[in-house]
Amino acid sequence: MQFYSLNKQAPAVDFRTATINGQAPDKGLYFPEHIPFLRNDFINEINYYSKEEIALEVIAPYVGNTIPRNELQRIASETVAFDFPLVNINEQISSLELFHGPTLAFKDVGARFMSRCLGYFVQGNNQKVTVLVATSGDTGGAVANGFYGVDGVDVVILYPSGKVSPIQELQLTTLGKNVTALEVDGRFDDCQAMVKQAFADADLQKALFLTSANSINVARWLPQQFYYFYAWQQWQDKDNPPVICVPSGNFGNICAGILAYQSGLPVQHFIAATNANDIVPQYLQSGTYAAREAVATLSNAMDVGNPSNFVRILEIFKQEFASLKGKLHAASITDAQTKETLASVYREHQYLLDPHGAVGFLALEQYLAQNQGQKGYLLETAHPVKFPDAVEEVTGQKIKYPESVQGLLGLEKKSIKVAPTFAALKEYLLS
Ligand SMILES: *Cc1c(COP(=O)(O)O)cnc(C)c1O
C-alpha cells in the first residue's frame, strides 16, 4: 500500500516512510491510495474474532510488507491489551469506553501502535530518534506512555507549567527512562511554537533525528479504527447498525471511524460533536470552511480552531459535499449544556461522563430525538478523573481514582523547568 500526500506535491511512500516522516515534505497529510474492503464474512462473523485478530485484519493492508506478520501481530496485541466495553446508558444510548488504557484516554491506542511501529523501524539505526511533543494534557501522556521503554527512541514532552490536571502531570513526569518532561514556564501555545521552531531549525536537524508524534501520523490515525469494530462485536441489534457520535477536536478519531465504514463496517450515521469550536458544524450548514482561533472550553482536548484531519474526511468522500452530508451530521454543544448533561446523566442513569463524553451524549441525544427508532453510541474518549474540576463541581462528588492510576499518586514528579523560548529548548536538546 502506498500513501500519497493530500497536497499532491510529494512522492507517494509506503507505511514505513509515512510513519517516519509524519507529514509529507510538501506539508500535506498522507492518505492511502485505496481503501481496503474487508471480507463480508469478517463483518458477519466478527464475534468469532479476538481483539488481536480484528486489529490485524484491519491494519495489515495498510502496513503491507513494511512489518513482518509476526512482528505486526505482537504490535497489534500490545496495542489493544485492555478493555473496550460498550456500556448501556439508557434504552437508546450506549457509551464505548475508550479510557481503560494506561493513560485513561483513547489516544493510548494510536500512541501505543505508533510507538511500536517506530521502534521497529528504527531497529539497527545507529542514530536515536527523538520524538518531540507539545501537549496541553492528554496527547503527551499517551505518547510518553506509548514510547516508554521503546529502544532507540527518546521522548521529550513539553507541557505548560500549572496548566495540566494533577493526574495528567503525574502521567507526564513520573515515567523516567527514555521520557523527559520539560515543564515550560508559559502557555500551551508557547510549547507548540517551540516545537514547531525545533522542526525548522537546521542545527537541530543536523544533530538529531527529530520526529513528531502528531495525531496526523498515519500510524496514530489508522489503528483508531480498531475499536469501532469492537463496538460492532458488542452491538446487539445487528439488523439496525448504530449511529456513532464522536466528540471531535482535530477529527482524527471520527475520520478513522469513517474509514472503517468505507471498509465495510455497518454504520447508520456519524455525528461529529464539537464544543464552541464549531468550525465543522458551521461548514456542514453553510458549505464554507472558516478556520479561526480556538476558544477555551470545559472539553479542552477539543479546543481546535482548524481541525487538521478534516481534509482526510473530505478526501474519503472524494470532496463531494453532498455525499459527506449524507453520512455525517455535526453539532456544537456549549459549556453550560455540557455541565447540565454531565449532571443529568449522572442523576438519571448513575453514569459518570467526562466533559468530552458529555458533549457527545447530548449531540447524540438531540440527533436521536429527530430520528426516531434509531440507536447509537458515543465514544467516551477520556476517564472523568482526568477532568476532576468540571466533574466534581457538577456532581458534588469526589471521583474515585481507578486502580491503574492509584500507583501514580505516590511517585515523585521529575521535570526540567525551562523558559518559554526556543533558545531554551534548543540548549536542552543539544546538551
Ligand atoms: C484528543 C481528544 C479528543 C479529540 O479527538 P480528535 O481525534 O482530535 O478529534 C476528544 N476527547 C479527548 C478526551 C481527547 O483527548
Amino acid letter, 122: V
Vertex 263 angle, CA 243 and 228, to 5°? 45
Scored b (16 or more CB within 10 A) or e, 296-311 reads ebbbbbbbbeebbbbb
Amino acid letter, 316: I
Closest CA to 210 of 128, 143, 145, 136: 128
d(C-alpha 316, C-alpha 263), whole Å = 11
Q: In the Cβ-directed half-sphere of 224, how many Cα atoms lie within 13 Å?
A: 26
Alpha helices (H) in 150-187, listed in sequence order: 166-173
CA of 77 to the centre of ligand 1 (A): 23
Given the CA of residue 138, which atom of ligand 1 is nearest to it?
A: 15
Global pTM reads: 0.94
pLDDT in tens, 387-422: 888 888 888 888 888 887 888 888 999 999 999 999
Q: Is 163 buried (19+), middle (13-18) or exposed (0-12) by CB count in 10 A?
A: middle
d(C-alpha 337, C-alpha 359), whole Å = 8
Q: Evaluate: CB of 143 within 6 angstroms of ligand 1.
A: no
Provide the residue ranges of all domains of the chain, joining segments of one domain with +.
84-106+221-404
Q: Evaluate: CB of 252 within 6 angstroms of ligand 1.
A: yes
Q: Evaluate: CB of 249 within 6 angstroms of ligand 1.
A: yes
CA of 186 to the centre of ligand 1 (A): 23
The whole-number pLDDT of residue 42 equals 96
Q: Give the residue, out of 306, 356, 383, 386, with the most ligand 1 atoms within 8 A of its beta carbon, to mutate for a pocket test.
A: 356
Q: Evaluate: CB of 302 within 6 angstroms of ligand 1.
A: yes
Contacts of 378 (CB under 8 A, 6+ apart): 93, 94, 95, 96, 244, 245, 246, 247, 273, 357, 360, 361, 363, 364
Active site positions, annotated? 107
pLDDT in tens, 246-259: 999 999 999 999 99
d(C-alpha 193, C-alpha 163), whole Å = 16
CATH number for the domain whose boundaries are 84-106+221-404: 3.40.50.1100
Query: For residues 87 and 372, is the Cβ–Cβ distance under 8 A?
Result: no
**In the predicted model, is pLDDT for residue 333 greater than 80?**
yes
pLDDT in tens, 243-295: 999 999 999 999 999 999 999 999 999 999 999 999 999 999 999 999 998 89
Q: Which three cell numbers stand for residue 291?
A: 478556520
Instruction: Identify each DSSP E strand in 100-216 by its residue range.
Output: 129-134, 153-160, 179-184, 209-212
Mean pLDDT of the chain: 94
Q: Is the dihedral of CA 244, 140, 332, 35 positive or negative?
A: negative
CA of 82 to the centre of ligand 1 (A): 19
**DSSP category for residue 386:** G
Q: Give the residue, out of 95, 104, 106, 136, with the most ligand 1 atoms within 8 A of its beta carbon, to mutate for a pocket test.
A: 106
Nearest protein CA to atom 8 of ligand 1, as residue: 250
